[in-house]
Amino acid sequence: MATHLRANLPPLSLHVPEPKFRPGDAVDFASVDVPAAGATRRPDTADEARSFTDLAYGLVRVLDDENRAVGPWDPKLSPDTLRRMLRDMALVRAFDERMFRAQRQGKTSFYMKCTGEEAVSIGATAALDADDMCFPSYRQQGILLSRGCPMVDMMNQIYSNRGDKLQGKQLPIMYSEKRFGFFSISGNLTTQYPQAVGWAMASASKGDTRIAATWCGEGSTAEGDFHSALTFATVYRAPVIFNVVNNQWAISSFSGFAGAEATTFAARAVGYGIAGLRVDGNDALAVYAATEWAAERARTNQGPTLIEHFTYRAEGHSTSDDPSQYRSAGEPTAWPLGDPIRRLKDHLIALGEWDEERHAAQDKELAEAVKAAQKEAEQNGILGHGLHQPLDSLFDGVFEEMPWHLREQQAQMLAEEEASGRPWARK
Amino acid sequence: MSDSMTDTNDTSRMNMIQAINSAMDVVMARDPGVIVMGEDVGFFGGVFRATAGLQAKYGKTRVFDTPITECGIIGVAVGMGAYGLRPVPEIQFADYIYPALDQLVSEAARLRYRSGGEFTAPITVRSPFGGGIFGGQTHSQSPEGLFTHMSGIKTVIPSTPYDAKGLLIAAIEDNDPVIFFEPKRIYNGPFNGYWDKPAENWSKHPGGEVPGGYYRVELGKANVVREGEALTVLCYGTMVHVCQAVIAEAGIDAEIVDLRSLVPLDIETIEASVKKTGRCMIVHEATRTSGFGAELSALVQERCFYHLEAPIERVTGYDTPYPHSLEWAYFPGPVRIGEALKKIMKDA
């Protein structure tokens, strides 16, 4: 491969991003710009998208260092609402802990926690209406828990057992819960983005009042579907909220590989003519306030909003991942925006509406509720222990009606099973 | 045409574009959930005029232009389907469907299966396909084999205006995702493969007689366009007409089966025909290796092995990108089909 050097020009060089800290490095997040709580302005929901540049590079924060709610974005929620959000977030964490352990015990093949990101889904769901449609990625289990999806149903799916209404067809955590406005999760990243826009366009074209919300990680914003979704949304002013959960990591790739060295993810919205907000994703009140604002903008036909939730993925990407191989172990604790549950808890305590004893008692109660649900779910079986679905059900649902070629393959499978002495029945 | 369910009525002469336009008009009038979207389909009425007049009749919220993003068009259609609509997105040329493959294969095709039936994708993707028009590499392709290989999606290809309308109505009303490939070479007339002779139009062809109202041609049913005893020809789209012309010229008593839908496939008609004739020739424009002809050949071999009197012949596009200037060398036209016929009938 020949290079073509000209004497009067320096050679070009390729920039390959590199995270600040690797395993063993001391962590110092001083370079992360964290504006003071309450310092970011709250625009009118009808403002033009082009006026959002400062917000797209700023950070909406409500909870300050003294655990007070301050500034124009304070949603002024009642103590009951705050306690419910705190409880939901604690429930998500308890659920994650238990299911992570279940995977380690070999009861299922796979799990993904959202530790440190609980405020993103709980804050948003609390601000949406119950019938608004959510198009989540795989790390928004908080939506289901806060909308009241029975834990047993979620666990049945994780165990692919007799009670799994997805009939064991989906990888654990790829839930589908139409009754809770929770779209079927796909393994293919960001495909839900244009789908959410389509749902929102359909709602608008029918004169409905419901809106759509969708989530993806910062890594997934690099997918082409992200671009197509934002283009469609701006063209048709679709009533949709785009959430980008910037947790700094896409498996082992730091956010620089999605373009974060040069700009923010919220800033991308501005180029599309979409309102862009950047919020402290570990501040449940900021997430609530931004979602409430974006929902009002969507519901009044002012169009879409993109919210970047600036947060940190406190644990591994999944049960198949070991983050100590690519990042410093000191990062989660050094993260300047802290822990979302602790911050909301301390706020409620500062208000005199909560205390450590009640919190500890609630944690215990939630852990027991999760354990009880797990016990109940395991009555329906765990992965690998026996045949939980009829063998031939694997052909169900490919089409509305089974065509001849699937009926033939189904019959052949059953005949082979029988001819070989019914090995599946023996298990 | 006993497999159709015609309710009305007055027929008139239509070309395939008019028939396709009529199908969308009829379904949109019956079902307010049907919406049409795609590049240039709205005010302009489509680059092939297939959606002409629909926006004026049904309004901009039901027939609209889209940004030039195929993955967006299909992704948005899937979301609209999840809401409860019945979208009919257009991909301007089948050659440009690839950016939408992820949404089609990973999403539309699997949505029912992966959600336990909670969500479905009742979408019909219309797209002009096939060659014979000097379209070069990116206006001539026949990518049906990519879709027949994917479980959960149906693939339909009409060969006449009558079938185009009836099949498209059935596809739109079907609750599964359907890829509806329209052979653009025969939009205006039945092409017999003789590119150097004057083009025909649909005015004299029986398939150009199209009812004005609602009827369906059931998916999964082939059409035996010529009954015969000497061999079975399996084909679809433009190649139905080319095969008919070549067979007539050769004076061979062939049975010509227009498959009409590839998935689901009418295996009964295929099997009965090959068992009767003992010979099978498969003709498609798409490239040969791993093309749909390979699946047809395997099925015939498995099911009709003891009835076969000669090896199955496949006449297909070559395993090259679709060329511009050498189009008629590439296209499986009368010369190539004629040579294959001689080979398969050698010992008859």
Reduce the DSSP state of residue A23 to 3 states and report it.
Answer: coil
H or E stretch including B114?
Answer: helix B111-114
Catalytic hit among B139, B205, B241, B284: B139
Do A403 and A297 fall within a single domain?
no
Backbone angles phi, psi at B286, to 5 degrees: -60, 160
Do B246 and B192 fall within a single domain?
no
On whether the CB atoms of residues B88 and B35 are closer than 8 A, the answer is yes
Picking from A137, A139, A96, A138, the residue whose alpha carbon sits closest to that of residue A117 is A139
The reply to whether B304 touches chain A by the CB within 8 Å rule is no
Q: pLDDT of B233-277, one tens digit each?
A: 999 999 999 999 999 999 999 999 999 999 999 999 999 999 999
Count of pairs with CB atoms under 8 A, one residue in A, one in B: 144
Instruction: Give a yes or no: residue B263 inside a domain.
Output: yes
Nearest CA in chain A to B101: A191
Distance CA A314, CA A247 (A): 8
Query: Contacts of residue B115 in chain A, CB cutoff 8 Å?
Result: 166, 176, 178, 184
Q: DSSP string spanning A382-412? A: -TTSS--S-GGGGGTTSSSS--HHHHHHHHH
For position A289, what pLDDT does the model report?
A: 98
Mean pLDDT of B292-318: 98
For residue A409, what are the domain limits? 391-420
- Backbone CA torsion sign across B262, B264, B266, B267: positive
How many separate helices (H) and strands (E) can be counted in chain B?
Answer: 12, 14
Distance CA B238, CA B190 (A): 7
Instruction: Give a yes or no: residue A58 inside a domain.
Output: yes
Instruction: Give a yes or no: residue A427 inside a domain.
Output: no
Instruction: Give a yes or no: residue A24 inside a domain.
Output: no
Eight-state DSSP code of residue A60: B
Q: Report CB contact under 8 Å: B99, A191.
A: no
Q: pLDDT of A78-128, one tens digit each?
A: 999 999 999 999 999 999 999 999 999 999 999 999 999 999 999 999 999
Q: Report CB contact under 8 Å: B71, A196.
A: no
pLDDT at A65 over 60: yes
Instruction: Give a yes or no: residue B42 inside a domain.
Output: yes
Do B203 and B236 fall within a single domain?
no
Q: Report CB contact under 8 Å: A398, B263.
A: no
Instruction: Give a yes or no: residue A20 inside a domain.
Output: no
Which of B217, B232, B264 is at the close of a domain? B217
Do A183 and A219 fall within a single domain?
yes
How many residues does the structure list for chain B? 348
Query: Contacts of residue B119 in chain A, CB cutoff 8 Å?
Result: 176, 178, 183-184
Do A237 and A341 fall within a single domain?
yes
Picking from B159, B217, B179, B161, the residue whose alpha carbon sits closest to that of residue B4 is B217
Do B210 and B238 fall within a single domain?
no
CATH code (residue B244): 3.40.50.920
Mean pLDDT of A304-323: 97
Residue showing tokens 């067979």:
B247
User: How close A173 gets to chain B, by Cα (Å)?
Assistant: 12
The reply to whether B114 touches chain A by the CB within 8 Å rule is yes
Query: What share of chain A in percent tops pLDDT 70?
Result: 100
For position A426, what pLDDT does the model report?
A: 66
A154 CB burial (10 A radius; 0-12, 13-18, 19+): buried
The reply to whether A403 touches chain B by the CB within 8 Å rule is yes
What ipTM was assigned to the predicted interfaces of this complex? 0.97
Q: CB-CB: which of B67, B76, B174 is closest to A201?
A: B76
Q: Is B324 a catalytic residue?
A: no
Type of residue at B130: G
Do B179 and B52 fall within a single domain?
yes
Query: pLDDT band at residue B347, thresholds of 50, 70 and 90?
Result: confident
Tokens of B347: 């010992």
Q: DSSP string spanning B257-289? A: EE--EEETT-HHHHHHHHHHHS-EEEEEEEEST
Instruction: Give a yes or no: residue B313 inside a domain.
Output: yes
Reduce the DSSP state of residue A30 to 3 states and report it.
Answer: helix
A259 φ/ψ sector (left φ>0, alpha ψ -120 to 50, else beta): left
pLDDT at A13 over 50: yes
For position A37, what pLDDT does the model report?
A: 98
The reply to whether A170 touches chain B by the CB within 8 Å rule is yes
Nearest CA in chain B to A135: B79
Q: CB-CB: which of A165, A184, A202 is closest to B83?
A: A202
Q: Report CB contact under 8 Å: A166, B115.
A: yes
Q: CB-CB: which of A228, A400, A404 is closest to B175?
A: A400
Query: What share of chain B in percent tops pLDDT 70?
Result: 97
Do A371 and A397 fall within a single domain?
no
User: How close B102 gets to chain A, by Cα (Å)?
Assistant: 8
Tokens of A231: 């283009």
Query: Contacts of residue B174 in chain A, CB cutoff 8 Å?
Result: 400
Q: Report CB contact under 8 Å: A403, B220.
A: yes
Question: What's the mean pLDDT when you consider all of chain B?
Answer: 96
Q: pLDDT of A135-173, one tens digit each?
A: 999 999 999 999 999 999 999 999 999 999 999 999 999
B200 φ/ψ sector (left φ>0, alpha ψ -120 to 50, else beta): beta
Backbone angles phi, psi at B81, to 5 degrees: -65, -40
Tokens of B144: 């049906």
Do B304 and B328 fall within a single domain?
yes
Q: CB-CB: which of B61, B107, B220 is closest to A186?
A: B107
CA atoms within 13 A on the CB side of B209: 8
CATH code (residue B152): 3.40.50.970
On whether the CB atoms of residues A195 and A135 are closer than 8 A, the answer is yes
| Total domains, chain A | 2
Do B210 and B228 fall within a single domain?
no
Type of residue at A180: F
Nearest CA in chain A to B220: A403
Instruction: Give a yes or no: residue A60 inside a domain.
Output: yes
Distance CA A370, CA A92 (A): 10
The reply to whether A6 touches chain B by the CB within 8 Å rule is no
For position A427, what pLDDT does the model report?
A: 57
Do B192 and B329 fall within a single domain?
no
Do A120 and A222 fall within a single domain?
yes
Residue showing tokens 């400062």:
A54
Do A174 and A69 fall within a single domain?
yes
Query: Contacts of residue A232 in chain B, CB cutoff 8 Å?
Result: 66-67, 69, 72, 76
User: Which residues are paired to B254 by β-bridges?
Assistant: B231
H or E stretch including A65?
Answer: none
Instruction: Give a yes or no: residue A13 inside a domain.
Output: no
The reply to whether A207 touches chain B by the CB within 8 Å rule is no
**CA B188, B191, B197: angle at the middle one, nearest 5?**
105
Do A343 and A240 fall within a single domain?
yes
Residue to mutate among A154, A399, A404, with most B CBs inside 10 A, is A399
Question: What's the mean pLDDT when you consider all of chain A?
Answer: 97
Do B333 and B309 fall within a single domain?
yes
On whether the CB atoms of residues A199 and B80 are closer than 8 A, the answer is yes
Distance CA B29, CA B23 (A): 10
Mean pLDDT of B43-49: 97
Do B15 and B70 fall within a single domain?
yes
Do B17 and B62 fall within a single domain?
yes
On whether the CB atoms of residues A289 and A40 are closer than 8 A, the answer is no
For residue B160, what are the domain limits? 7-217
pLDDT at A332 over 90: yes
- Return the higher-pLDDT residue of B7 and B9: B9
Picking from B237, B282, B278, the residue whose alpha carbon sits closest to that of residue B260 is B237
| Total domains, chain B | 2
Instruction: Give a yes or no: residue A125 inside a domain.
Output: yes
For position B1, what pLDDT does the model report?
A: 38
Do B211 and B241 fall within a single domain?
no
Instruction: Give a yes or no: residue B2 inside a domain.
Output: no
On whether the CB atoms of residues A48 and A247 are closer than 8 A, the answer is no
Query: What share of chain A in percent tops pLDDT 90?
Result: 96
Instruction: Give a yes or no: residue A11 inside a domain.
Output: no
Do B159 and B61 fall within a single domain?
yes
Do A325 and A416 fall within a single domain?
no
Q: pLDDT of A175-227, one tens digit each?
A: 999 999 999 999 999 999 999 999 999 999 999 999 999 999 999 999 999 99
Residue A408 burial (CB count, 10 A): 12
Tokens of A421: 């002495």
The reply to whether A389 touches chain B by the CB within 8 Å rule is no
Q: pLDDT of A259-284, one tens digit each?
A: 999 999 999 999 999 999 999 999 99
CATH code (residue A204): 3.40.50.970
pLDDT at B3 over 80: no
Nearest CA in chain A to B68: A228
pLDDT at B5 over 90: no
Do A314 and A407 fall within a single domain?
no
Tokens of A145: 């828990």
Distance CA B38, CA B57 (A): 17
